[in-house]
Amino acid sequence: MYDFETPRLTFQFVSPRRIIMGENSIASLGQIVKSYKVGKALLVTDKVLRGLGALAPAVDSLELAGIDYDIYDDVEPNPTIANVESGIAMAKKDHFDIVIGIGGGSPLDVAKGISLMATNPGRVNDYLGMFLPVPEKPLPLILVPTTAGTGSELSFGAVFSDHEAHKKTQIYNYEVIPLVAFIDPIMMMGCPAKLTAASGFDALTHAVESYVTKNGNPYSEALAAQAIRLISKGLLPATKDGKNMKARTQMALGSTFAGMAMSASGLGINHAIAYPLTTHHNVPHGTANAVFMPYTMTYNAEEVPEKYANIAELMGLDVSGLSPKRASLKAIEEIIRFLKELDIPLNIKEFGINEDELFGFAEIIIRDYVPLCMFNPRCMSPFDAYGLYLNALNEDHIWTTKLSD
């Protein structure tokens, strides 16, 4: 539980102005858009989703409400700034009045960038960083996730890949928080099993890192705790049976809580060490997060075993009579079980990573992703980062022996 005796009980919380949650809630999209008295909407998605017909419920609602729209689908996984700039050019040329992002984290982040830049001077690069001034209000923004994972629909961040520099770049700004987020499990029913597993682990990582961060607060901890409960129940059944509405709803709600939690508290080293796998080897973000979870949990549990003991209980595990360290080990073992059942690798060799890359990865973390490490419960040195990579390369769980005492 959060220590209310701590001298630093000061925090702020931001989220979309309106969250519309529920089965088939997307049917009201057209009327919501109409209420903003706009002329033309730009739908931002990717070619795969468009080809699968995943936009149909949203498009049907817009057409029923008489909303004129066009579609921008030139969004790739781990989108680049070039993807955003192309969409901005379309938005400015055709004078859209509102942006609607539909998809996983990639289309949603691109939609944020387009909304911001359609009304503002300069280029996307001018706004990369933490809360830089934004001269003009962005276009109204509505986000509709089709995966339960990234939390982008709830956050003030947008993440883009810089392929030349092999790193992630971010816009952190309250101006990219959407006016409305639709959380509809119907929109997630077509998500393939592999993507359901990866995005679900992304959400679980958000929840766990938010729960243990030194920057947490009562609000973020409560949200993260509920997210861990829901995702632990829903992840396996939603992956194994995509039509399981109960599991899809658990995942949708769990991902929502996790996204709100991370927005209020920040994340930790798991995301930091996962990023080089995406930028250098194009490993999907959720999968990269998943493979490192046993290693970072073991590393952090040495510092805050009570937190991870709580996580074990939140996951529905019986830890009665166990010390905090042994209870922490139960949570780690459960994560490993999830990984095995979902056929996610337990080591990074599976992604073609070699030992000679690991020092470079460790240096990248310390150079580029310091904000993600600042509030981790345990301070991570470059040597520690290298050790985590080496353990993940060799599938070495030797550190878990320290939790068996």
Domain ranges of the chain: 18-188, 193-403
Q: What is the pLDDT of residue 403?
A: 63
CA proximity to 376, closest of 152, 183, 204, 213: 213
- Copy the structure tokens of residue 197: 């597993």
pLDDT at 7: 42
Q: pLDDT for 32-52, tens place per residue?
A: 999 999 889 999 999 999 998
CATH numeric code, 18-188: 3.40.50.1970
Query: What distance in Å separates the CA atoms of residue 86 and residue 84, rounded to the nearest whole number?
Result: 5
Q: At what angle do helices 193-212 and 305-314 cross, to 10 degrees?
A: 140
Does residue 353 or residue 373 have the better pLDDT? 353
Query: Average pLDDT for residues 81-103, to the nearest whole number?
Result: 94
pLDDT, position 401: 54
Look at residue 14 in the predicted model and tell me its pLDDT: 76
pTM assigned to the model: 0.91
Strand order across the beta sheet in which 167-172 lies: 129-130, 167-172, 157-162
Query: Looking at residues 71-80, what average pLDDT do you find?
Result: 91
User: pLDDT per residue over 193-212, tens digit each?
Assistant: 999 999 999 999 999 999 99
Indicate the CATH number for domain 193-403.
Answer: 1.20.1090.10
Question: In DSSP terms, which residues pair with 172 in a beta bridge?
Answer: 130, 157
263-282 tens-digit pLDDT: 899 899 999 999 999 989 98
Per-residue burial over 62-77, b if 16 or more Cβ lie within 10 Å, else e, is: beeeebebeebbbbee
Phi, psi of 124 (to 5 degrees): -55, -40
140-150 pLDDT tens trace: 999 999 999 98
